[in-house]
Structures are given as structure tokens and as C-alpha cells.
Amino acid sequence: MHDGPQHHSPQTPPHRMSAAAAHALIDAHEHFLLTTHISPDGDAIGSELGLARYLRHLGKSVTILNDDDLPDHLAWLPEAGRIETLVEGDVAQQKALAEAEVAVVLDTNAAERLGELAEPVRQGGTEVLLIDHHTEPEDWFDHAFQRDTAAATAELICELIDEAGRPELIDAQIATTLYTGLMTDTGSFRYSSVTPQVHRTTATLLERGGISPAPIHSALYDNRSLASLRLLGRALERIQLRYDGAVGYTSITPEVLEAAGAGPEDKGDLVSHVMSVQGVRAALLFTETEGGTKVSFRSEDDTHVDGWARRFDGGGHRNASGAYLEGYSLERALRDVLGAAPQFIDVEEEGPALSDEDTARLAAAMKAQSG
């Protein structure tokens, strides 16, 4: 346990590290805490599990602790049962936090995305290592192995492991978890972030781990619940186009979820279906929640949506970003976010903006489709 906090002041950027330097940091310590963002996806969970098993191969002590539960569709991953969810007052978890020499934050670079773990990680007195592929990391990390051109955080974990020069340490379990991270965060290798190096890395995982892609793909995509398919149908019915068809969007409300018998975990990657509409260059999914509206942005290669998301205090990648508009009704989010499109992507201004009355009427019409 360290004597006191070692994180940087808000004015000091994190120390950028190479894969070799990050591995040297790992070699110098024994006790690790791994965590990731709320609502964890395949890259977040796959990266945690892959790195944790690798660290254990090196003889390290590792605890994986997240603020949110493991998603059901990822529960099949090897050693997923070793992921813990934060429980207030849990003595063993508090001990793991206190004893960790290095806290590794994976696949997110913002404190608010860590949920209730943000404060103990920032103030716990450990060195904090960021491993992430998103843009503009916050200043409080001690070290950052970060590259926003990486297709997934799992790709960075692969680079980190390669630094050891011990390919035999990549077993079937590590290969499966990291392949899952790569596949899910690249849309099954179809996004513009996929490079020749990504395919080389993927081939190396398959060869070293002796695994086949087909069962992994089937476990992820061929076991959907009936509720998720009903939700998909309702989301497709609600697709609307703006800006001469260049921008497509759909929305999910609590009423839509209820009518489909679905929960938030059944949404999957609905925004990609909007993106598949002919002529659409930017796709948005609006999800109305009790406290605001979440917006997911996707775009084709030369249409960048990260600035659009940042306008609403979000962020992410050039072609995949998100924002949460706290306190925004669906009506207000539709009006403000869609109305801002010409400021950030190459579309012509439309006619006069929708009045509040027209926006409310549009939102009401979309809600009426819930039944």
C-alpha cells in the first residue's frame, strides 16, 4: 500500500508511455486493480479479462472491479466469473483497493465513466495507468498507454503482451477475450478503424491461442433474446431521415422498451442498422432515460462525429461517439442535436428550425409507434 495519493494535479497531463514502458511499470509491481467504464462492452470486458489472465501468468495479484454488472451477453467469456461488481462496504473489495500498487483503467479516459469507482481510484494512493484508444484523456492519470488510432483497447493489450517476447503466454482464454474485444469494437472488422495491422494482430491471436472465430461470433451474435429482436423491429420502424437523407436517426423510449418486453441491455448496436440505410453518412440513436437522453453517433469514414458529440459534453472516436444530455427530454434532444448537424458535418442547412410545438408533435408521433 502506498503512503499517499500519487496522481497528477489537474494541470499536469499524464505521462505518455510506449508499450515497452507500460510493461516495465507492470514488471515493477505485484498487486493490480483493473477497472473499466459503466455499461461495459465487449472491448472493455475482453480487455480486462485478457490483461488479468496475462498478469496472473506473470505471477501478479489481480482484482477486476467494475461499477456495473457484467452484461449477460458476455457472461460466457473465459473467467468472466472473476469480475466483481462494486458493493458498498465490502471488506474484501476495500482491501483490494487499498493493497493495489497500480490501478489500470481500461477503455475509458473520463472519471465520470467509472461510476462510483472514480473517487477511490483517483484518491486511493495507487499509481493509475490508463490503457485506452479514445481521444483527449483527462489529466488525472499518472501514466497513459493511449493511442486513438488503435481500433480497440484490446489491440493495445496485444501490443503490451508482445513486448514480453513470450508468445506462449497467449493461451486460448486470452486469445478468446482479446479477439472478442477486437471484433466487437470494430463491428466485426468492418469499421474504418480496421487496418492491416489489426488483421495481423487478429491472425496472431488465432494462431497462438489455437481458437476459431466462428464459435465466438455465434456466442456474441446468434443468441439474441426475442425481446431484443422485437426492440430492433420497433427501432427500425422509427427511423427518420434529415438533411436530404444524409443523417438518419431513431429513438428508444421507456414505452418502446416496455412494449417490446425489453431492457436497456437488449439495445445492442441499433445505431448500426440506421447507418446501413442507403445514403446515410451519419446515424444517431436517441435513448430517453429517467434523467435525460443518451445519444449514440456513428458515421462513415470521412464524416467525423466526435466534435458533434463533444458539443453536448460527450466524445469518443471520429466515427463512433456518444453523449448523455442530462435533463434533456427526448423532444429537446431531437431538436438541439439534429439542429446542430451543419456545424459539424458537411450537410446543408435545412429550412427554418422546427418550432417547439412541431418538435413535440414529432416526438409524440414517434412515441405513438410504441404501441
Domain borders along the chain are 15-221, 226-368
Grouping H, G, I as helix, E, B as strand and the rest as coil, residue 101 is coil
Give the right CATH number for 226-368 from 3.10.310.30, 3.90.950.20, 3.50.80.10, 3.40.1130.10: 3.10.310.30
| Residue 163 exposed, middle or buried by CB count within 10 Å (0-12, 13-18, 19+) | middle
Stated pTM of the model:
0.86
Evaluate whether 312 touches 323 at the Cβ level (below 8 Å). yes
- The dihedral region occupied by 327, where left means phi > 0, alpha psi between -120 and 50, and beta the remainder, is left
The predicted pLDDT at position 359 comes to: 65
Give residue for cell 472514480.
118
Q: Which strands sit side by side in the sheet containing 83-85, from one edge to the other?
A: 15-16, 143-146, 127-132, 102-106, 31-36, 61-66, 83-85
CA–CA–CA angle 125, 17, 53 (5° rounding)? 70
CA–CA–CA angle 82, 85, 86 (5° rounding)? 130
Summarised one tens digit per residue, pLDDT across range 124-156 is 889 999 999 998 899 999 999 999 999 999 999
Q: Which three cell numbers stand for residue 324?
A: 448523455
Residue 167 DSSP label: G
Evaluate whether 287 touches 272 at the Cβ level (below 8 Å). no
Outline where DSSP puts E strands in 185-327: 240-242, 247-252, 282-288, 292-299, 315-316, 320-326
Q: What Rg, from alpha-carbon coordinates, does the chain have?
A: 21
- The dihedral region occupied by 313, where left means phi > 0, alpha psi between -120 and 50, and beta the remainder, is left
Summarised one tens digit per residue, pLDDT across range 26-64 is 999 999 999 999 999 999 999 999 999 999 999 999 999
Domain 15-221 has CATH 1.10.3720.10: no
Residues (pLDDT < 50) of the chain are 1-11
Evaluate whether 270 touches 322 at the Cβ level (below 8 Å). no
| Residue 311 exposed, middle or buried by CB count within 10 Å (0-12, 13-18, 19+) | middle
Give residue for cell 431521415.
241
